Structure 1
Amino acid sequence: MTVIAGVDVGNATTEVVIVADGVILGAGRAPTRGRKGSADSLRGAAAVARRVARQAGAVVDEARIASLRPVDTSVRTVPDVPPPTGRLRVLRAGVATPGGAGACVGVPLLLGDPAAAADHAGPVVVVVPPQTRFDQAAAGIRVLLAAGTRVGAVLVASDEAVLVANRLPAAIGRVPVIDQVDSAAAASCTLLAVEVRSPGHPLTTLADPVALGAAFGLRERDVGDAATISRSLLDYSNAVVGLTPAAAPAPPPPAPDPSPRRDTDAGDVFTVDLAAVWDAATARRGSLGRAFLVATLHRQPPDAGAAATELATLLGIPVASPLTEPAAARLGTATTPGMLPGAVVADIGSGTIDAIAADGREAVVAGAGELLTLAVAEALGVPRAAADWIKRGPCVRLDGGQRYEAEDGGRGFLDAPAPAAAAGMLAVPGPGGLVPFAGRSGRQHTPSEWRAIRLRLKQAVLAASLQRALTALGEPGTRLALGSPAQLLLVGGPAADNELVGVLTRSLPVAFTVGRGNLGATRGGEALGHRYAVALGLALA
Structure 2
Amino acid sequence: MKLVAGVDIGNATTETSIAKFYNDKKIEFISSGIVKTTGMKGTRQNIHGIFSSVKQALDKVGLSIEDLNLIRINEAAPVIGDVAMETITETIITESTMIGHNPSTPGGLGLGVGTTININNLHEISNKDPLIVIIPSTVDFMEASEKINREFNNGRNIVGAIVQRDDGVLINNRIFKKIPIVDEVTLSEKVPLGMRAAVEVAPVGGVVEVLSNPFGIATAFELTPEETKMIVPIARALIGNRSAVVIKTPKGDVQERIIPAGKINVTGEKRRKSIDVDEGAEEIMKTLEFCSPIKDISGEPGTNAGGMLERVRQVMANLTGQNPGAIKIQDILAVDTFVPQKVKGGLANEFSMENAVGIATMVKADKLQMQAIANELEKQLGVLVEVGGVEADMAIRGALTTPGTNVPLAIIDMGAGSTDASFMSKEKRNKSIHLAGAGNMVTLMINTELGLDDIDLAEDIKKYPLAKVESLFHVRHEDGTVQFFENPLDPKVFGKIVILKEGNMVPIPGDNTLERIKTVRRFAKEKIFVTNALRALTTVSATGNIRDIEYVVLVGGSALDFEIPQLITDALSKYGVVAGRANIRGTEGPRNAVASGLILSYRKEDDKNE
Normalised-by-shorter TM-score class: 0.7 to 0.9
The whole-number CA distance in structure 2 between the counterparts of 1:184 and 1:45 is 55
The whole-number CA distance in structure 2 between the counterparts of 1:314 and 1:455 is 44
What does 1:362-511 align with in structure 2 at a 5 Å threshold?
362-378=432-448, 379-381=450-452, 383-399=454-470, 401-414=472-485, 417-430=488-501, 433-438=504-509, 443-470=510-537, 473=539, 475=541, 479-480=544-545, 486-505=550-569, 510-511=574-575
The whole-number CA distance in structure 1 between the counterparts of 2:180 and 2:381 is 77
Q: Give the gaps of 5 or more residues in structure 2.
A: 21-25, 260-301, 317-323, 342-349, 602-610
Q: Residue 331 of structure 1: CA displacement?
A: 0.6
Q: Residue 290 of structure 1: CA displacement?
A: 9.8
Q: Residue 18 of structure 1: CA displacement?
A: 2.4
Q: Residue 492 of structure 1: CA displacement?
A: 0.6
Contact 1:518 1:529 in 2 (8 A): yes
Question: Alignment partner for residue 91 of structure 1, among 73, 76, 99?
Answer: 99
The whole-number CA distance in structure 2 between the counterparts of 1:304 and 1:219 is 61
The whole-number CA distance in structure 1 between the counterparts of 2:336 and 2:545 is 33
Question: Alignment partner for residue 596 of structure 2, among 528, 536, 540?
Answer: 536
Q: Residue 531 of structure 1: CA displacement?
A: 0.5
Q: Residue 532 of structure 1: CA displacement?
A: 0.4
Per the alignment, residue 524 of structure 1 pairs with none
The whole-number CA distance in structure 2 between the counterparts of 1:244 and 1:60 is 72
Contact 1:107 1:125 in 2 (8 A): yes
The whole-number CA distance in structure 1 between the counterparts of 2:248 and 2:13 is 57
Per the alignment, residue 240 of structure 1 pairs with 245
Per the alignment, residue 18 of structure 1 pairs with 18
Q: Residue 345 of structure 1: CA displacement?
A: 1.2
Q: Using a 3 Å threshold, how does the CA distance of structure 1 residues 417 and 243 change in structure 2: closer, same or farther? A: same
Q: Residue 520 of structure 1: CA displacement?
A: 1.3
The whole-number CA distance in structure 2 between the counterparts of 1:149 and 1:331 is 83
Contact 1:277 1:460 in 2 (8 A): no
1:93-115 CA distances to partner (integer Å, 9 max, x unpaired)? Answer: 22233223333334445423257
Per the alignment, residue 515 of structure 1 pairs with 580
> Helix, strand or coil for the counterpart of 1:520?
helix
Contact 1:342 1:357 in 2 (8 A): yes
> Helix, strand or coil for the counterpart of 2:143?
helix
Per the alignment, residue 134 of structure 2 pairs with 127
Q: Residue 533 of structure 1: CA displacement?
A: 0.4
> Helix, strand or coil for the counterpart of 1:539?
helix
Residue 392 of structure 2 corresponds to residue 326 of structure 1: yes
What does 1:293-312 align with in structure 2 at a 5 Å threshold?
295-297=361-363, 299-312=365-378
Q: Using a 3 Å threshold, how does the CA distance of structure 1 residues 384 and 179 change in structure 2: closer, same or farther? A: closer
1:168-194 CA distances to partner (integer Å, 9 max, x unpaired)? Answer: 32x42363333416466453333x322
The whole-number CA distance in structure 1 between the counterparts of 2:124 and 2:572 is 65
Per the alignment, residue 360 of structure 1 pairs with 430
Give the structure-1-normalised TM-score.
0.81
Q: Residue 365 of structure 1: CA displacement?
A: 2.4
Q: Give the gaps of 5 or more residues in structure 1.
A: 280-284, 522-526
Q: Residue 496 of structure 1: CA displacement?
A: 0.5
Per the alignment, residue 407 of structure 2 pairs with 341
1:507-535 CA distances to partner (integer Å, 9 max, x unpaired)? Answer: 668215542112113xxxxx211100001
The whole-number CA distance in structure 1 between the counterparts of 2:371 and 2:480 is 55
Q: Using a 3 Å threshold, how does the CA distance of structure 1 residues 31 and 228 change in structure 2: closer, same or farther? A: closer
The whole-number CA distance in structure 2 between the counterparts of 1:533 and 1:366 is 19
1:78-136 CA distances to partner (integer Å, 9 max, x unpaired)? Answer: 89965779xx9432222233223333334445423257623326x54333355433332
Identity of aligned residues (%): 26
Q: Using a 3 Å threshold, how does the CA distance of structure 1 residues 220 and 96 change in structure 2: closer, same or farther? A: same
What does 1:57-136 align with in structure 2 at a 5 Å threshold?
60-74=68-82, 89-113=97-121, 117-120=125-128, 124-129=131-136, 131-136=138-143
The whole-number CA distance in structure 1 between the counterparts of 2:52 and 2:214 is 65
Supply the AA of the counterpart residue of 2:194: S
1:459-509 CA distances to partner (integer Å, 9 max, x unpaired)? Answer: 3443444455446x265x99328x655543211111111211243356668
The whole-number CA distance in structure 1 between the counterparts of 2:228 and 2:447 is 38
Give the structure-2-normalised TM-score.
0.72
Per the alignment, residue 282 of structure 1 pairs with none
Q: Which has the higher contact order (CA 8 A, sep 6+)?
A: 1
Contact 1:288 1:380 in 2 (8 A): no
The whole-number CA distance in structure 1 between the counterparts of 2:558 and 2:124 is 64
Q: Using a 3 Å threshold, how does the CA distance of structure 1 residues 516 and 213 change in structure 2: closer, same or farther? A: same
What does 1:261-276 align with in structure 2 at a 5 Å threshold?
261=311, 262=314, 263=316, 264=324, 265-268=327-330, 270=332, 275-276=337-338
> Helix, strand or coil for the counterpart of 1:28?
strand
The whole-number CA distance in structure 2 between the counterparts of 1:54 and 1:77 is 43
The whole-number CA distance in structure 1 between the counterparts of 2:486 and 2:204 is 31
Contact 2:338 2:354 in 1 (8 A): no
Contact 1:95 1:178 in 2 (8 A): yes
